[in-house]
Each structure stands twice: as structure tokens, then as C-alpha cells.
A and B are shown apart, each in its own frame.
Chain A
């Protein structure tokens, strides 16, 4: 295999893993808790902008540029997105699922419009550039640079996966499932549905913010156009394809759907004359939509469905699949 191919593979996987992080966040909210968040793009955008502001060098005519280390940017991104999710949740978590969806969608649109118009903070439509990239010193060697970035993302995804699996199989995860299955019964057992939902919503939001930061630093440039509702749709498609409620499914779905997305972009570039490519790009969305329908018809629980999780302290049944109803 040529060096270019490996470098491209690493680039592709790194990008896919940033989506996998978003997908893991959505899985906490929807897969485990049943919270219908249709504003993923908003939380990702908050993470991206916060980390960009914290880590870029001081810029003339724009607020911030604090020049902090990348790690501080990523932590700040997760904290900020988690805090925003907590505040939005505190206002809306009591709403029925469909109203929560409307509320989160509205928040995402508002965040995107803020990014577009708060030029003093966000750079407006031109966005923020020169976001420091991890291992920038290796940039001269594309292969080493790509592999080092991939390594960071693999570590982040792995750490998140292990932490979320631990929570999923803990008494905390058990209460989330109980609330999802029968809130009235969970309340009668003394479980505050509001408190647990709010926690899950904030954790999911923080993870989405982290994903936004990781993506921003990997690409090095962000603009409001990156955070349109299309992003939310993509992440939902990833989770549904991979298997809602299953952390491994979330990661697999992200890689698969991103593969289809990136592959179809390449195919369109080679199949259509340059004048038609902009219009042909809509075919990408069509392909994701058709793929989603196929999965919903053929494997409604996704490629890796939710597994029957039990406390990791009992352990004997871990991994036994839930039988189809």
C-alpha cells in the first residue's frame, strides 16, 4: 500500500472517529435515556467555538484568542457544552419527547445563527482559522501527522467507550433504563426522573462538545456552515444504523455512515462533469436516506442492537442479545 493511501485512511478514520464521539453522546441521551435531542449540531458548535477561542492566538478585531494548550480547549469545550445542555435541560427536560425535540432544534438553530452573526466572538460567516492542530510539528510528514492524530482520537474514543460502558452497567445506568421503561414505577421506587434525565442530557451534551472541539482542531478551521441541521441528521443516521443503545454500535455506525458519505463524495466527483457536481452532491443525502430506510426495514435495532445489559457486578449475562419482541 502506498503511503498516500495509508495517510488517507488515517485521515478518513480520524474524521469518522470525531463523529463516533458525537454518536456516543447521542447514545447516552437517546439510546440509554430516550431523550430526543434534535439539536446535536448546536452542542457540537458550542464545543468547537469554545475550544477555538481558548486555544487560538490573540486575534485583532475578535474577542479572545487565549492561546491556551489544546487540552485546555477540549476540556473547556466539554464543560461549556455540558453546562449549556444542563441549562437547556433544566428548562425543557420535563417536556414530552416531541416538545423536547422542537426545543433542542430551536436551540441548535439559535446557536448557528449566533455563530453567524456574533462576528466579534465567532468571526461571523468567515469563521475562525488557524486553530492549533495537535502534532503540528509533524505536519511536514503527512503519514506521521495523520497517524499521530488518529492515535489521539482512538485514545479519546476508547476512553469514552470504557467510561460509558462502566456507567451503562452501573446502578446509574440501571436507573436510566428503569426510567425509560416505566417512569411511574421508577418514581415510586424513589428515583428522581428529572435528576437522572438531566444528568444524561448534560453528559451527552458535554461529549458532543468534546467532539466539536476534536473536529475543529483536526481540520484547523471552523465556520457556521459546518453546524447546519444536516450534521444532526448525519449523527442520528449513524446511531440508528449502528444500533441505538449500544456503544459499539454507535462507533461502528459512525465509521460506516461516514464511509458511505465520503465514498459517495468521491464517486460524484469522478462520475459527474464539474458543472453538475454541486447538484449531484444532493445524491449523498439521498444515499444516506435510502440506507437509513433499508436499515430500519431490515434491522430495525441497527447492525448491533441493544444488548441486555446487567450490572457489571453480576456480569454473567453481559452481552446476551435482547431477543426480538
Chain B
């Protein structure tokens, strides 16, 4: 069965942004968690998404990643409409994500966690394990090599045989990063990569994300750590009450009275 990942991805024309969401609405009962939000991630850009708690950032993120379906509005990835598709189809469009609270496969080893990120592997088809064992073995060997180099990239090489449940919170974030990189996405959504991470690991994470961006990956980042956002992102979008509030360079946005009001209002409320 040919998977969608085998098909060539559409070459990104000037118009087709890695992610472009328009007029997104998501209701939870009477609450409009995302209320007419539009956001565009440009090719090769590192875009920060900030906003006070409850602004709807994670809901927006889940809409873009496909874990939630929008009540209305459109989501395009590299020019293709994906708002009706499930989360398992996003990787085929070149979009990968991490989770705010990391979700490693706890009883699988660190190496196997990363291997699970592999795409279009012959060994995921039942019959090929019997009819094409040579192809399965060759692909798996190549995958192991690649997974090991990714573990090296996120500094977890020494832990490859450990079950993922023994990792610290920061190590789990690094493992998730390696696991999604195994799928080789062109665009990466990072949900609070700095939350609960000790300063040493945080430096590694920042360094690796910069490195990925330098290699052409577009990145959308939700983050509370303004210092990190300022270091990573050339442009930030501010969300409040489910809507687009402001956008621009981090320093400029931080001086915007409406943004300050939203954050202070959020604290007071």
C-alpha cells in the first residue's frame, strides 16, 4: 500500500506558506477557545506564539496539529487544505509536533521511541516482513543508524537502551524532538519546549532548535519563557481570548500597550 509520504510534496511556491490558518473557530460548549484566529508561518521562519494563560494557544496548536477539528475556518499546510484530516495525516504533509507534557512511549527503549518516528517503512506492512525480509532489514539498519545520530544530536546517546520512563522531564522533551525529527518534517510545532527544563538542558534545546531552523526547518513555537522567545524568534504573534491581538518583533510586541494590558488583565482576572 503506497503511503502518502511516498508522494512528492508540492514544491512550495511563493504563495504556499508552511502553515496558514484563517478565521479558525473552535468551540467547547459555550466557550469559544479559539475565536476567529488567523496565523501564518512563513517558509524558514521561527515564529513565536505567546499570550496569557487561557488565551487559546494550545487549542490553536492542537487545531493546526490535527488533534482537534476546527468548528469553522481553514488550515492549509504548504497550500493544501487539511482542516478535515486527522492528526495521523499531518506528517505526510511535512508537519511534525511535540507535546507540552512530553508523551514518550514509556516502556519502549529510548532508541525504539526514536525508531517509531520513521516514515514509510516496509517493515510496518505485515506481508513485507515475510516476503521482503531483506528490504525490511536494510531499511531498519539504516533507520537505526539515523536514530542513533539523532540521539547524538539531542545528547541522549548514552541512554538508548533505557526505557523512556526513566528520563527526566527535560530529557523527555529532547527525546520527543529526536523522535519527530526521525519523521523528517519540514515544519515543526513546539509546545513549550522550555517548561520545566533545567537551565543546562534548556541551553541544549535552544541550541538544537536554532540549528534546525538554520537548516531550513520552519518552526512554530509556543513559549512562556520570553527570554527564549526573544532569542529564537524574529516575529511573535500574541493571542488573547482566542483572538489575534498583535504581532511583530519580540521587543516591539513587549512594549505594545494592548499586550501589556492583556497580560496584566490575565493576572488580575
Contacts and interface: CB of A to CB of B under 8 A. Distances in A.
Contacts, number: 110
Interface in B64-123: 65, 67, 86-92, 96-97, 99, 103-109, 111-112, 115-119, 121-123
A241 B163 CA distance: 25
A297 interface: no
B183 A189 contact: yes
A177 B108 CA distance: 8
A193 B137 CA distance: 24
A174 B116 CA distance: 7
Contact of B140 (A171, A184, A191): A171
Contact of B123 (A170, A184, A199, A314): A170
A282 interface: no
A190 B88 contact: yes
B126 A311 contact: no
B179 A184 contact: no
A295 to B, nearest CB: 21
B125 A308 contact: no
Q: Which of A175, A188, A316 has the most chain B CB atoms closer than 10 A to its own CB?
A: A188
Interface string A144-177: 0000000000000000000100110011101101
B180 interface: yes
A109 interface: no
Contacts of B137: 313
A322 interface: yes
B140 A190 contact: no
Given A181-B107, A185-B104, A191 B88 contact: yes
A199 B129 CA distance: 14
Contact of B116 (A166, A189, A314): A189
A317 B129 contact: no
A310 interface: yes
A172 B91 CA distance: 18
B108 A181 contact: yes
B125 A172 contact: yes
B108 A187 contact: no
A186 B90 contact: no
What class of interface size applies to chain B in its complex with A? 35 or more
Contacts of B87: 184, 187-188
A189 B179 contact: yes
Given A308-B163, A310-B109, A311-B144, A188 B124 contact: no
What class of interface size applies to chain A in its complex with B? 20 to 34
A61 B108 CA distance: 57
A154 to B, nearest CB: 21
Contact of A322 (B107, B123, B129): B107
Nearest to B89: A190
B212 interface: no
Contacts of A184: 67, 87, 99, 103
A153 B167 CA distance: 45
Given A187-B88, A190-B92, A192-B88, A167 B129 contact: yes
A171 B114 CA distance: 12
A143 interface: no
A313 B96 contact: no
A188 B105 contact: no
Q: Which of A174, A192, A203 has the most chain B CB atoms closer than 10 A to its own CB?
A: A174
A4 interface: no
A308 B99 contact: no
Given A190-B91, A203-B126, A174 B112 contact: yes
Contacts of A317: 109, 161
B136 interface: yes
Contact of B144 (A163, A172, A314, A322): A314
A141 interface: no
Given A171-B136, A175-B124, A178-B116, A193 B105 contact: no
Interface string B125-144: 11001100000110011001
Interface string B211-243: 000000000000000000000000000000000
Contacts of B103: 182, 184-185
B75 to A, nearest CB: 16
B144 A188 contact: no
Given A171-B124, A187-B88, A313-B140, A181 B109 contact: no
B5 interface: yes
Interface string B29-58: 000000000000000000000000000000
Contacts of B97: 188
Contacts of B115: 171, 174, 311
Contacts of B121: 171
Contacts of A172: 123-126, 129
Contacts of B108: 174, 177-178, 181
Nearest to B123: A171
Among all A-B residue pairs, the 5 with the closest Cβ atoms? A171-B123, A190-B91, A313-B140, A185-B103, A181-B105
10 contacts: A174-B115, A177-B107, A182-B105, A187-B88, A189-B180, A189-B183, A310-B109, A313-B140, A313-B141, A317-B161
Interface of B: 5, 65, 67, 86-92, 96-97, 99, 103-109, 111-112, 115-119, 121-126, 129-130, 136-137, 140-141, 144, 161, 163, 179-180, 183
Interface of A: 163, 166-167, 170-172, 174-175, 177-178, 181-182, 184-193, 199, 203, 308, 310-311, 313-314, 316-317, 322
